[in-house]
Structure 1
Amino acid sequence: METKSFECDVAVIGLGPVGAITANLLAHGGLRVVAVDREPDVMQVPRGVGIDGEIMRVMQTLGLAESLEPFLKVFRGAQYIDADGSVVATRPAASMEGSQGWPDRYNVHQPEFEQVLRDSLRANPLITELVSTEITDIQQGPDGALLHARGTAGSAPVSIAARYVVGADGGRSTTRRIVGSTYEDYGLNQPWIVADFQVSAKADLPDINTHYADPVSPAIYINVVRDIRRFEFRAAPGEDLDAAVLPDNIWARVSPWLSPEDAELLRAAVYTHRSLVVDKWRHGRILLAGDAAHQTPPFLGQGLCTGVRDAAAVSWRLRDVILRGAQGSLLDSYGVERSAHARHFITTATELGTKLTQPTKESIESLNSRVGREGRGVPPRLGEGIWDSAFGGGYLSPQPRDGSGVLVDDLVGFEFGLIMTPEIAGTLDDADLSSDRITTLPADAKLEAWLLEHGTGAMLIRPDRYVYGCYPGPQELQTGLAALRRSRALRETVAAG
């Protein structure tokens, strides 16, 4: 059987949400992509059920936020109930618009989220989608990588020549195995039984997500979207996990809340929650993202979000390297930044999981504030990388609206954006900023007030919406711009291929 051959700028392995967003972002930046997945289509299994306002900014960048919104439900709040049935801690409902320009938190049914992304990449002429295709080997050379694949349904073998490769192929990543990355293990290894239901109007269930304490088998209830509800139960020590997902046993488990007369069991599965981060995110021309790079227990609802942050961080770097002549060393900072950031969420989620058997108001609120949930606390800083530590860089930026009501990401695009007072804008050379591929936004009255509120005269924001630096005046800004110029080292635009 003759081998089918493809060429591209970036091969993306795995088309779950992280791989699909990566493929879409790369093509949005002008790169040619071959996207490979071993499954024939979106998997209809219980997985992620939450995204946040930061992830909606990524969808906004792709022009997909409006397509996704009908499938979302703004987060209604959560409660933590102790073994005596008392509510000991709560989380508030999300506001209609938070600091990211979107509600802080949403519930989502992951297959619907993925379908929006698949529809987008299938409509993009820069993306070639290869489904039912499994990568078997990757060989690296000085100018690129050659991927070997086979069809899972007996179709012709495939070879893909790519400048770079992003492995976003999940917790059992073939890419990670090929490159030999190993995990740093933070000690969690817990099987949980997860079941999704379609409920009728007769079902008497909480309107908000609920965590039920139990000394042996704590449970989590999630009001997902529309009539879809989820229950998650920590497996008891030594429990027969194959038997646990049988329908009769699932119904017995949910009997305090649901009966077969109230709902249809859609699917059940066992997920083993782990807390893992790879030791190395880049191997030459191969980079890891999503669950291939880290595994996050779900107690913060940040597993999917953490992977999408990887996609945004790696995509602008690959765009700059391949199309804008930046040095390949720009990619080295990707794993350093993302590893530290992901580790903060993973260790916090792991600790939160230990509190579910005996939750207290103080412990729950303290852990939630460590990641800045729903406006409480501050999200973590990136690991050392492409940002100005002397001027407040490395934190997630807010997204304001200008005086016309337009969200600033829509004005900036998938580029570095510089919001600054008119006085500072008057000191800069527009030609230099244009060659640096920085979109400038001299502030109108509303944005100037926003800058003043944040105690700065200029805020330089990266394409993945993290702050590069906040500068009080033109001299400090010029120093920051010079440092960024050295980090990116852009040359004249080069042709893809």
Structure 2
Amino acid sequence: MKPAQSAPQPAAVEVDVVVVGCGPVGALTANLLGLRGVSTLVVERSTTPHGQPRAFSCDDEALRIYQQVGLLDSIGADLHQPTRADYLNAAGRTFATIDFSEVDFGFGHAPLNFFDQPRLEGVLRAGLDRYDHVELRLGTELVSLYQDEERVHLVLRDVRTDQSYPVRARYVLGCDGARSTTRAAVHIPLAGASYAEPWLAVSGEVPPEGIRRAHTTFVCDWRRPAFVSPGARGSYRAEFMLQPGETEAEMTRPDRVAALVEPYVDPARFTVTRAVIYTFHQLIARRWRERRVFLLGDAAHQMPPFLGQGLCSGLRDAANLTWKLALVLDDEADPALLDTYETERRPHTAAMAATSVRLGRVFLARDRRAAWLRDTALRAAQTVPRVRRFVRRFEFKPLPAYDQGLFAGGRRDGAVGTMFPQPRVALPGSKVPVLLDEVLGAGFAVLGTEVPADGPGRPPVRAIVVHPGDTAGPASSGAEPADERVHVIDIDNVIIPWLRRHRCEAVLLRPDRFVFALGSTVEVLGALAGALRGSRSVGQAAAA
């Protein structure tokens, strides 16, 4: 009798990138990679959509990222955009207000947006169907991985059949949340603090006539701080801090939930879809890269919810890293360029987390005297016009800017390192305005009033010639056949004044819309070519 033989191992699948986790951050990451032609395998342990409205808010930067992958119209169809956010004291009086009608960071979208997470994930996952080189495998989990000089070798398991199989990738992106299997596989610890106060998060549906508090509201009641707001698609969100001794079993009872939401919605018309207890964290991974493995979103950082920046920060991670990966995979840049991902993103994320903590201290005063002092101080401060504008216009939110990284000179210098505005422009011969990003393309772009047709080189850079808003642009909508420049009319009168203010002829934008360089077209393109050729030194300097 011949000895029994084991079944032959299947040949390992080879892809450029494996994305572990297909929540909003993982799905967006895969869309951005698909947009740039990167062969991608996305694995998600769940066999069905999550179906729970966990994250529910995003900002204008997030919408700009969704716009870049061509999914904004689908995502934006059901957004709720609040007009203001009120801060109430224990007596129900407003002591501070953010007026979103006065908030415009210049990025083309509303500053605060509430969405339905199940629908958002559905749109992002459906977006992957546009790319033959992107595959989503549900019911698939990461078992283990190891790295050599050229590849990451993964073992994946189909949770429905319990069958494991190998996959090889050039890079792995861990987008698998706070309990990240990817982070554990590369032995990266978290550092920071977890807050002991448990919260009850209640989501539900309510008709308009059942809403009693129609504006986004932070209830700064020292006895029980709370947050309430209408949301997308007829939903309503309410979160309440638990008091000592209150248990999950007690506080999630229908009668207790009804009593808590009663001041804000009619309990008889409020259909609860989710009621869970959670605690929040301020945690950040010790490092975000282990050779060919990167962490994004909650796998890399977790922050308090008071600024609504948890998901947004993960989306920024994806927008920052994916185009750099594409350059490296296309041999347009040295792999050391990827070091600038953490160099750029970590300080900005830390600033967001710190601002969230400070806002939480305002929100979470836990005794009567501290709350009285807070209310009195904020009311007095807002009698000063500049302070009042600072609060009403949401100016305490950290703006998108990176102090060092992949920029001309390697660090922030004036406008270099900041996000470029997104005004409306028009194409010659058209009266229909479009947002600027619609004409920038997915890669680098150089904008100026005089951009030579033969300027762009490697990597490809789209040339945008900007005409004043009071002109019709060039005489004809078509240029010479060899001229691939795009002509736009600055109908909002933003771009040309921006160039004058910064005393430059042209501005070079990175694919994530951050300013890479200012100067003449020749200067900014030369700076880009030099940075990518010398990206090993850029990465080493940034890491230092």
Q: Same fold (TM over 0.5)?
A: yes
Aligned residues, how many?
Answer: 482
Q: Is residue 450 from structure 1 mapped to residue 494 from structure 2 by the alignment?
A: yes
Deviations for 1:441-495, whole angstroms, at most 9, x for unmatched residues? Answer: 1211236753442213322211112222333x46763664454344558xxxxxx
- Aligned residue number for residue 126 of structure 1: 133
Change (3 A) 1:79 1:152: same
- Aligned residue number for residue 161 of structure 1: 168
User: Residues of 1 paired with 2:167 and 2:413: CA distance?
Assistant: 43
- Aligned residue number for residue 222 of structure 1: 229
Give the aligned residue type for 1:10.
V
**Residue correspondence of structure 1 range 57-68 to structure 2 within 5 A:** 57-68=64-75
Displacement of 1:187 after TM fit? Answer: 5.8
Secondary structure of the equivalent of 2:218? strand
Q: Is residue 441 from structure 1 mapped to residue 473 from structure 2 by the alignment?
A: no
- Aligned residue number for residue 407 of structure 2: 387
Secondary structure of the equivalent of 2:131? coil
- Aligned residue number for residue 32 of structure 2: 25
Percent of aligned pairs with the same residue?
31
Change (3 A) 1:257 1:327: same
Displacement of 1:112 after TM fit? Answer: 1.1
User: Residues of 1 paired with 2:259 and 2:240: CA distance?
Assistant: 12
User: Residues of 2 paired with 1:367 and 1:168: CA distance?
Assistant: 39
User: Residues of 2 paired with 1:9 and 1:478: CA distance?
Assistant: 28
Change (3 A) 1:206 1:143: same
Hey, which bits of structure 1, 4+ residues long, moved more than 4 A? 1-5, 94-98, 362-370, 372-378, 473-476
The RMSD of aligned alpha carbons is 2.7
- Aligned residue number for residue 420 of structure 2: 397
Secondary structure of the equivalent of 1:410? helix
Q: Please point out which of 457, 470, 489 is paired with 2:518.
A: 470
Change (3 A) 1:485 1:328: closer
Q: Please point out which of 54, 75, 80 is paired with 1:47.
A: 54
**Residue correspondence of structure 1 range 182-261 to structure 2 within 5 A:** 182-186=189-193, 188-261=195-268
User: Residues of 1 paired with 2:310 and 2:85: CA distance?
Assistant: 18
Mapped contact 1:190–1:274 kept (Cα < 8 A): no
Mapped contact 1:3–1:156 kept (Cα < 8 A): no
Displacement of 1:298 after TM fit? Answer: 1.1
Change (3 A) 1:263 1:147: same
In structure 1, list runs of 5 or more residues that go unmatched: 490-497
Change (3 A) 1:383 1:40: farther
- Aligned residue number for residue 437 of structure 2: 409
Task: Answer with 294-303 or 145-154: which moved more.
Answer: 145-154
Deviations for 1:247-297, whole angstroms, at most 9, x for unmatched residues? Answer: 333223223334541211111112211111111011010000000000021
Give the aligned residue type for 2:516.
Y
TM-score normalized by structure 1? 0.89
User: Residues of 2 paired with 1:367 and 1:34: CA distance?
Assistant: 49
Give the aligned residue type for 2:531.
L
Mapped contact 1:94–1:105 kept (Cα < 8 A): no
Change (3 A) 1:384 1:7: same
User: Residues of 2 paired with 1:133 and 1:222: CA distance?
Assistant: 36
User: Residues of 2 paired with 1:434 and 1:75: CA distance?
Assistant: 44
Q: Is residue 16 from structure 1 mapped to residue 60 from structure 2 by the alignment?
A: no
Displacement of 1:335 after TM fit? Answer: 0.8
User: Residues of 2 paired with 1:300 and 1:141: CA distance?
Assistant: 40
Give the aligned residue type for 1:477.
V
User: Residues of 2 paired with 1:445 and 1:279: CA distance?
Assistant: 48
Q: Please point out which of 107, 112, 116 is paired with 2:119.
A: 112
Greater radius of gyration (CA)? 2
User: Residues of 2 paired with 1:350 and 1:400: CA distance?
Assistant: 32
Displacement of 1:317 after TM fit? Answer: 0.8
Q: Is residue 421 from structure 1 mapped to residue 449 from structure 2 by the alignment?
A: yes
TM-score normalized by structure 2? 0.82
Task: Answer with 320-329 or 257-266: which moved more.
Answer: 257-266
Change (3 A) 1:304 1:377: closer
